[in-house]
Amino acid sequence: MIESMTGFGRGEASENGLSAVVEMRSLNSRFCEVQLRLPRSLSHYEAEFREWVRRELNRGKITVSVEVRRDELPQVPLVIDEQAARSVYAILERLRSVCGIADPVRLEHVLQFREVFTPTEENEALEQQWELVRRAAQEAMEALRAMRRREGQVLLEDLRTRLQSILAHLEQIEARSRERIYEYRDKLRQRVRELLAEEHIDPNRLELEIVLLADKMDITEECVRLRSHCRFFSEALEDTEPAGRRLNFLLQEMNREANTIGAKAMDAAISQQVVAIKEELERIREQVQNIE
């Protein structure tokens, strides 16, 4: 099933007063381009995040925005070491007694010793944030892919319709081509007889020249190849793998065959059908630019 390269997805996850919001947008691009905005605290996860996005999406310009929020005031990443605080206080009391200092030991004295505080495990907090971001990102990715699939289904129906139109024009070209060869052969015979009425002419040589000229005007092979490309194009639309690049290649080949048919045919009716085919191919090309 084909997917569009245009889509939007949003995901959110929360736990213990912490929440993560991830938004993803994707637009057309020949390659997979990822623009990522992460909180500074999670910047060392950037390479891992980009690689994950590239595994999920093959083509498109993808913009990812990540926001981490707290439902409460952020906590200072410190805890009191009660045993150390008691020890510092006892030391200060003993020092005051030894030195005969009358003033009591106050809190600001104890705070001069950094040993009374122990930093919390920052890694644990970052791991919690990253886990929430991953959950939110997965939800956003699923929503983005769902939207791309829905748009892809619309593109698929349009492309099928245009392929049928091309095949219908091709049938008219083939029918007209068969008629045209006989018409041109008869006209050529008549014209040669008129020009050489009084001269001797080898009928076998004349027939050979007509056959050779008719062969140059024959577009059977081009019609067969164009029909074959249409079949391959239709099969690619049903493929489970991303088919955007393959469809682009087939379109180039289909255009080449249409141009050759128009050049060889030398017939107004066929040229008209070729123009109609090329119009459909151009519309298909515009649509294929948005297929992954």
2 domain-assigned: no
pTM of the prediction? 0.65
Let me know whether 229 and 252 are in one domain.
yes
Let me know whether 233 and 128 are in one domain.
no
Chain position carrying tokens 């515009």: 286
Cβ atoms of 203 and 225 within 8 Å: the answer is no
1 domain-assigned: no
Let me know whether 133 and 266 are in one domain.
no
211 compared with 183, residue with greater pLDDT: 183
Let me know whether 141 and 209 are in one domain.
no
48 domain-assigned: yes
Let me know whether 232 and 278 are in one domain.
yes
Closest by CA position to 66, among listed 84, 41, 96 = 41
Q: Calculate mean pLDDT across residues 215-237.
A: 86
Range of the domain at 141: 7-73+122-148
Q: What would the 3-class secondary structure string for 126-150 be?
A: HHHHHHHHHHHHHHHHHHHHHHHHH
202 compared with 248, residue with greater pLDDT: 248
Cβ atoms of 41 and 87 within 8 Å: the answer is no
Q: Name the strand (E) or helix (H) holding 125.
A: helix 122-195
178 compared with 165, residue with greater pLDDT: 165
282 domain-assigned: yes
Let me know whether 197 and 264 are in one domain.
yes
CATH number at residue 128: 3.30.230
Cβ atoms of 152 and 1 within 8 Å: the answer is yes
257 domain-assigned: yes
192 domain-assigned: yes
pLDDT at 278: 93
Number of folded domains that form the chain: 3
pLDDT at 121: 47
Q: What is the pLDDT of residues 96-128, one digit of tens each?
A: 888 888 888 888 888 888 788 766 545 557 888
Let me know whether 54 and 130 are in one domain.
yes
Let me know whether 15 and 140 are in one domain.
yes
Could you give the C-alpha distances from 277 to 57, 65, 85, 256, in angstroms and in order?
Answer: 32, 43, 86, 12
Let me know whether 170 and 135 are in one domain.
no
221 domain-assigned: yes
Beta bridge partners of 26: 7, 62
**Each residue of 128-153: b (16+ CB within 10 Å) or e?**
ebbebbbbbbbbbbebbbebbbebbe
Cα three-residue angle 204-207-212, rounded to 5 degrees:
125
Q: What is the pLDDT of residues 197-207, one digit of tens each?
A: 655 666 666 66
Let me know whether 19 and 108 are in one domain.
no
59 domain-assigned: yes
Chain position carrying tokens 């577009």: 219
Let me know whether 143 and 197 are in one domain.
no
Let me know whether 172 and 160 are in one domain.
yes
Q: What is the pLDDT of residues 144-156, one digit of tens each?
A: 999 999 998 999 9
Average pLDDT score over the chain: 84
